[in-house]
Structure 1
Amino acid sequence: MEKSKNGILNRLKCIATYIKYGLFLHGVRNNLAKIGLDFMPYYYCKSMSSKVNPDQIKTPDLDLKLSIFGKTEINYIKNSILGINDNFLFKDLNNGVTCVGLKKDDDIVAFLFIRSQSFYFRNRLFNLNENEHFFVFMYVYENYRGKGIAPYLRYQCYKLLEKEGVNTFYSISEYFNFSAIKYQKKFNAKPLELCLSIKLFKKNIWNFTLKKYYS
């Protein structure tokens, strides 16, 4: 009985979080996907590090350290975030995927997975050149949200990768993830395409380009 109550409370907490951050429709899509009806509209975006205004990036009032995360941090992430254990990202850490993160002392504050090689997303191939990287997935731990951590980490990654000759960055934002779209605009990320991916019962996948944008 206690386990059942905890499950209900966790579900209610998730719903409240979705509503708080404007992710209700995003949550509905995710729940439909769990029963095999996976309809995912998304923007494929491009940003240039040279077009980011550093004055817009508010440095958090925290003593943060930027580093490349290794096995210890990765294991902590896998065990501390619900639903991330089976994420394909962890299988690719030695194959073109890097995890860059922020720490406050020994406490992990946030992290960002970055791809440096061409990859498949929902059976669609995305090609990357040597000067191009793909920002896959960012997460800020709840205790540190609302402090400007996400844009600060992304900007620090720009600066880090510029030293390696990388100046063009791509990312995908789900259409119903309004907070992610707002975050993209902060970095002058421009949509290249509006796409729709349909995956039925975890077997058949179709990809469609609904609209192309020209700058």
Structure 2
Amino acid sequence: MFDLNKYRIKYRYSHSLRLFFDAMSKFGIRIAPYYTFRERISSLKTPTLSKELEHCKISFLGPEDIRAMAKIPGRKFSEADLLKRFNEGQKCLGMKKGGAIIAFNWCNFKELTFKWHRMPLGKNEAFMFDAYTLPDYRGKGIAPFLRHHFYKELEKISITRLYSYTDYFNTPAVKFKLKLGAEKEKLNLYIVLFNKWPFHFILKDYQK
């Protein structure tokens, strides 16, 4: 039976273009607009954190944490996927509460990646990606707090230019990055036809 109320709720909280793109994916055409952000080593004050989390430990995670990360419900990355990241020199800054991982953020020093699109990075550049906070700990200021700490750690190794990407329709994430002082660099469009032919376009360059 067609649930009209369910459809209304979905339409209300989903961008009309997103609904169109989702429909196209059923025919083998994937369309994904996204922003490339240029982040900076923030000189802003350290973001505040919920008092209940003040004693949490922030440190770089390692291969010994792979099993715990791979077991997080809803995550699609296997132990092999995560080990590959570490073997490629990528770093992951995490937050633990009572020894358990509750949030983390990854960083790639070689390239900015989005699906099949690749952009090589310079010696002073890094690509921040896969920022994740467990559902029970969201809304407590962890994401900006952890990212700010990552900025400071990267500054220690002479990383001065940071990149990241965000789904065009993910308004909360866009606002979060702008609040941290990030700047929109480009609006991109990624298209894959029948899982075989990828295309990448720059719709707008905000730096020009």
The residue type paired with residue 156 of structure 1 is H
Identity %: 31
One of 125, 130, 139 as aligned partner of 1:132: 125
One of 194, 200, 204 as aligned partner of 1:201: 194
| Residue in structure 2 matched with residue 71 of structure 1 by the alignment | 63
Q: Does 1:148 align with 2:141?
A: yes
Quick check: 132-141 or 31-40, which moved more?
A: 31-40
Q: Distance in 1 between matches of 2:35 and 2:184?
A: 6
Q: Distance in 2 between matches of 1:194 and 1:178?
A: 14
One of 112, 115, 135 as aligned partner of 2:108: 115
Report the count of equivalent residues.
Answer: 195
| Residue in structure 2 matched with residue 53 of structure 1 by the alignment | 44
3-state SS, counterpart of residue 129 of structure 1:
coil
The residue type paired with residue 68 of structure 1 is F
Q: Distance in 2 between matches of 1:194 and 1:165?
A: 27
Q: Deviations over 1:156-189 (max 9, x none)?
A: 1011111111121100011001111011111111
Q: For residue 93 of structure 1, report the CA deviation from its aligned partner.
A: 2.2
| Residue in structure 1 matched with residue 153 of structure 2 by the alignment | 160
State the TM-score, normalizing by the size of structure 2: 0.82
The residue type paired with residue 74 of structure 1 is I
3-state SS, counterpart of residue 54 of structure 1:
coil
3-state SS, counterpart of residue 87 of structure 2:
coil
Contact 1:102 1:111 in 2 (8 A): yes
Segments ≥4 residues shifted beyond 4 Å: 25-35, 86-89
The residue type paired with residue 138 of structure 1 is A
The residue type paired with residue 202 of structure 2 is T
Q: For residue 106 of structure 1, report the CA deviation from its aligned partner.
A: 1.2
Would the alpha carbon gap of residues 99 and 34 (structure 1) be closer, same or farther in structure 2, given more than 3 Å must change?
farther
Would the alpha carbon gap of residues 88 and 129 (structure 1) be closer, same or farther in structure 2, given more than 3 Å must change?
farther
State the TM-score, normalizing by the size of structure 1: 0.79
Note the residue ranges of structure 1 that are not aligned, 5 or more in a row: 1-11
Q: For residue 127 of structure 1, report the CA deviation from its aligned partner.
A: 2.1
The residue type paired with residue 43 of structure 1 is Y
3-state SS, counterpart of residue 149 of structure 2:
helix
Would the alpha carbon gap of residues 32 and 102 (structure 1) be closer, same or farther in structure 2, given more than 3 Å must change?
farther
Q: Distance in 2 between matches of 1:198 and 1:128?
A: 23
3-state SS, counterpart of residue 201 of structure 2:
strand
Would the alpha carbon gap of residues 35 and 146 (structure 1) be closer, same or farther in structure 2, given more than 3 Å must change?
farther
Q: Deviations over 1:41-83 (max 9, x none)?
A: 011110111x44115x113321111111123422222121324
The residue type paired with residue 67 of structure 2 is N
| Residue in structure 2 matched with residue 9 of structure 1 by the alignment | none
